[in-house]
Each structure stands twice: as C-alpha cells, then as structure tokens.
Amino acid sequence: MSITTARLGTDGPEVGVQGLGCMGMSFAYGPTDADEARATLERALDLGVTLYDTADAYAKGENEEFLAPFVGAHRDDVVIATKFALAMDPDDPTKRIIRNDPDYIRSCADASLRRLGVDAIDLYYMHRRDPKVPIEETVGVMAELVAAGKVKHLGLSEVTGDELRAAHAVHPIAALQSEWSLFSRDIERGVVPAAAELGVTLVPYSPLGRGFLTGAFVSADKELGADDFRRQQPRFTGANAAANAALLEPVRTVAAAHDATPAQIALAWVQQRAAVHGLPVVPIPGTRKRTRLEENTAATRIHLTPDELALLDPIATQVSGDRYADMTFTSAGRE
C-alpha cells in the first residue's frame, strides 16, 4: 500500500509523507551493503516514498554519486534534496567549518549537479548557518540559482524561527529540515510556529534519534564502530546513554498496544506533529535495509491516542546530554 502525500511549502512538489534519509548509505553509521542500499531505494519508491535526502558533505560527495543512477532511472518520480555549507577547514582537514559565502554556494551547486547527474536540484538546502553572513544574502544567492534553473525549491536546515522569517521574506522557503523526535523537541519553541505561520513544510531529520529510539543500540562507545558518528554525540555515550535507554520504556508500552515496534511508534509520534502543530511534516528516517524501510513506512498508518501522546510527550524533557558536542552549530545554540 502506498503512503499518503504532503506538499513541500506552498508551491513545492507533493511528496510521500515519509521521505528517505540516504546519509547512512555512505557515511556516519558504519559499513554499508551497497546492493542492499540500492534495493532499499527502489523499494522505497514502490511504497510511495519520493523525497530522497542527501548532502554534499556526506562522504565528500560520494553519497550524491551513489544516488545518481537511481535518480537518473526515475527522474520524474523522485524529488532529490541536497545541501551545501559544511566544508573542511583548509588549515585542519579533520575539522568541519561552515561556509555561506556566495562564490562557495555557487560552486557547491554546480558540483552537486555534476555528482547527481541532474539538470536541476529539486530542493536545495543551506545545511548550516554561518552567523557572520546575513541570511538575506545567502538566500539571495540561492534565489539566483532558482532563477538560473539550477535549483527548483529552497530549504534551510537548523535555522531559528527569526532566521526562517528573514529568509522567507527574500524567497519562499519550501522546507525546513531540523532534528525532531521523541528525544529532540527544541524546535517546537520558535522554529515550528514560524514554519506553520509561513506555510513551510517541516522535514524532521533523525526522527529515530539516530537509531537509539529503536533500541538497536544502547551505548555508542561500547557497541558501535570507532568511526561511527554517534560516538561523538553526548547523549549516546557513557552514563547519559544508560540513563536515556531507561526512557524508552513508555515507547515499548505503546508499541505493544499497537502490535508495532518502538521504531514505528517513534515515527508515528513525529508524523502526528503535523496535526498537533498545524503544518505539513515529512520525516526522513534513514535506513539501508528493505525490511526496515517497510517497517518505517508502515508507521505512517499508526494513529496514537491522546493518552498515548501524554505518555510519550514528557520523554524529551528527561534526556541527558546534548544532541551534538558543539550546539553552536544548531538553531537551539543561537536562540
């Protein structure tokens, strides 16, 4: 059964109400079986998933290259989203920096077009904000890319509500991508109300808490590989991880009542934010496996009762540890 749809912004494309995060297929979460990942992309499309999320920063462009054959084979059915702004520090190649300067943005767009093998990027996000560059200037450059036909719609990631308003005044923003899950609700303070007011679709990333909400791992430092990104995230390591694992009990209780998995309840909760906050919501859970993809899309058909929401809603306030080691990279760090 195909999933339902939602629109990106007021004049963006209609997409499956759940998208697919493709980052893990090349980057961040350990080794990948490329054939299974390719089969997962195809299965997603069969099930009505049409929004595919990548970024130039995922494995230095390799994730975009990995997606190119799939996108090329289904160009009219797939909405491809990519991002710019995360670069490596030329003085220290192990360190990430943020770049929003105009020439850099223009060169990133051309490079992403080339790697993806497309004439236009359907949805182009600013991945992170460099507070030294006025957001109006950045969105102005992104709008030039639209005028040039290189980009169809604009998105922003990890901006504050005020930054979203300033950006939207320059050019319509179709999608706002930020972390939103049972564990991460900081965007509900300012970002979500601004998006609802402006008609911007919310695209929650890491809706499964990077896998932690599924119970697939408890302690990143004990269970995940040395280069797994989650070992750098304070909430998944040490005493924080053990404390946070105990918070999953209500998720398991609700899952049992629906004959569902904790992953499905975590996704149903994010999906139901649409009705709670009055805006379109298109989460992009990441998986490299067909069975999990099928499990995740089936979650779009689960409806949580008010009592169940009341059991799940307080979890976020009890989480130990930040989402990132450096929160200045996030909207919450600038609010």
Ligand X SMILES: NC(=O)c1ccc[n+]([C@@H]2O[C@H](COP(=O)([O-])OP(=O)(O)OC[C@H]3O[C@@H](n4cnc5c(N)ncnc54)[C@H](OP(=O)(O)O)[C@@H]3O)[C@@H](O)[C@H]2O)c1
Q: Which residues are catalytic?
A: 58
Restricting to residues 126-145, which ones interact with ligand X according to CB under 6 A? 127
Smallest distance from the beta carbon of 323 to ligand X, in angstroms?
Answer: 9
Place of tokens 């791992």: 217
* Binding residue count for ligand X, defined by CB under 6 A: 29
- Check residue 295 for interaction with ligand X (CB under 6 A): yes
Contact indicator for 269, 250 with CB cutoff of 8 Å: no
CA distance 174 to 158: 14
**HSE (side-chain half, CA atoms, 13 Å) at 15:** 32
Out of 21, 61, 155, 250, the residue judged to bind ligand X by CB under 6 A: 21
C-alpha pair distances (Å), 82 with each of 23, 199, 236, 322: 10, 21, 27, 25
Binding mask 81-120 for ligand X (x = CB under 6 A): ----------------------------------------
Complex with ligand X: residue 181 or 240, whichever CB lies closer:
181
Structure tokens at 43: 């299965």
CA distance 307 to 193: 24
Complex with ligand X: residue 162 or 294, whichever CB lies closer:
294
Among 6, 5, 12, 9, which residue's Cα sits nearest to residue 151? Answer: 12
CA distance 245 to 217: 9
**CB under 6 A: which stretch of 103-111, 140-148, 199-207, 300-308 binds ligand X?**
199-207
Among 274, 266, 92, 118, which residue's Cα sits nearest to residue 183? Answer: 266
Complex with ligand X: residue 172 or 285, whichever CB lies closer:
285
Complex with ligand X: residue 161 or 211, whichever CB lies closer:
211
Restricting to residues 37-76, which ones interact with ligand X according to CB under 6 A? 53
Complex with ligand X: residue 145 or 187, whichever CB lies closer:
187
34's enclosing H/E stretch is helix 34-46
- Check residue 12 for interaction with ligand X (CB under 6 A): no
- Check residue 163 for interaction with ligand X (CB under 6 A): no
Q: Rule CB under 6 A: which residues touch ligand X?
A: 21-24, 29, 53, 127, 157-158, 177, 205-211, 214, 216, 263, 284-289, 292, 295-296
